[in-house]
């Protein structure tokens, strides 16, 4: 009996330590990925030579985000889930905003920046969904409880926007502002469909 209790105690301690280690790894990965993305964007905006940054920093940043998603899936308390999905959505909005302003003529069209921003959007849009865990509709979030009441519809919207973002990349690569404008409108509509039904104003 005593031996069994001791084994259970050791197992509990190992579980707690493992959870703490995974959480530490999660924050390190998120921090690295954020720094890498910001660096890549800054270099592009300032028009400094950026080929090496694009080839080396961006893949590492996306890998970091993917690894972070794996860790988050195992260590997903509601408050952490909210921060996780909001961070990804913010990065996606920043990049989509660049494309939207180009499409509207608010900033000069730049094919390299458009391709980079569209590629970021296309990767980031795959990541936030596992952050919508149950009981994460309260606190610092605009997510409605309806997400979990009608998960099939929410998942359908998620699939629809992910189907549109590759077209955004293709339009950016075309160098045609008219194509970019059409693709931006389609992605924006897919995003708004979900926001209208599942995001508080």
- Residue written as token pair 């610092």: 140
- Please determine, for residue 125, whether its predicted confidence score (pLDDT) is greater than 50: yes
In the DSSP assignment, the letter for residue 126 is T
Provide the sign of the torsion angle of the four alpha carbons 169, 174, 178, 179, taken in this order: negative
Look at residue 33 in the predicted model and tell me its pLDDT: 55
153 has a pLDDT exceeding 50: yes
65 Cβ neighbours under 8 A, 6+ residues apart: 29, 30, 33, 88, 123, 124, 127
Per-chain mean pLDDT for the chain: 78
Comparing 193 with 4, which gets the higher pLDDT?
A: 193
Q: What are 71-113's pLDDT values in tens digits?
A: 544 557 899 999 999 999 999 999 999 999 999 999 999 999 9
Residue with tokens 């990541």: 127
DSSP letter at 57? I
What was the pLDDT predicted at 76? Answer: 74
Query: What DSSP state is assigned to residue 131?
Result: G
Q: If pLDDT is split at 50, 70 and 90, which confidence band does 201 have?
A: confident
Q: What is the mean pLDDT of residues 142-158?
A: 96
User: Between helices 58-74 and 78-104, what is the axis angle to 10°?
Assistant: 150
Tokens of 122: 């296309």
Spatial contact of 183 and 114, defined as CB atoms under 8 Å apart? no
- Residue 155, token pair as written in the block: 């998942």
What was the pLDDT predicted at 194? 96
Total Cβ atoms within 10 A of residue 106: 9
Which letter does DSSP use for residue 130 in this model? G
Instruction: Take residue 50 and report the two structure tokens written for it.
Output: 């950026």
Helix axes 111-124, 58-74, angle to 10 degrees: 20
pLDDT of residue 75: 59
Start-to-end C-alpha separation, the chain: 57
pLDDT, tens digit (0-9, with 9 covering 90-100), for 23-78: 555 554 555 555 455 445 544 444 444 444 444 455 555 555 555 555 544 557 89
CA 54 to chain centre: 18
This prediction's pTM: 0.65
Between CA 159 and CA 34 the distance in angstroms is: 25
């Amino acid at each position: 009996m005593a031996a069994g209790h001791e084994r259970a105690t050791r197992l509990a301690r190992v579980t707690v330590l493992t959870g703490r280690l995974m959480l530490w790894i999660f924050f390190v990965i998120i921090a690295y990925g954020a720094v890498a993305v910001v660096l890549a964007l800054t270099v592009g905006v300032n028009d400094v030579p950026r080929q090496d940054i694009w080839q080396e920093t961006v893949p590492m940043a996306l890998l970091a985000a993917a690894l972070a998603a794996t860790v988050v899936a195992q260590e997903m308390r509601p408050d952490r889930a909210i921060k996780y999905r909001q961070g990804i959505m913010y990065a996606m909005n920043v990049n989509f905003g660049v494309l939207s302003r180009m499409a509207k003529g608010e900033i000069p069209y730049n094919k390299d920046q458009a391709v980079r921003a569209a590629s970021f959007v296309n990767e980031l849009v795959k990541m936030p969904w596992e952050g919508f865990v149950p009981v994460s509709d309260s606190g610092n979030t605009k997510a409605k409880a309806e997400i979990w009441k009608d998960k099939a519809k929410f998942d359908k919207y998620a699939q629809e926007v992910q189907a549109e973002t590759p077209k955004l990349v293709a339009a950016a690569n075309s160098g045609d502002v008219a194509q970019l404008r059409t693709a931006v409108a389609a992605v924006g509509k897919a995003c708004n469909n979900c926001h209208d039904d599942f995001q508080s104003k």
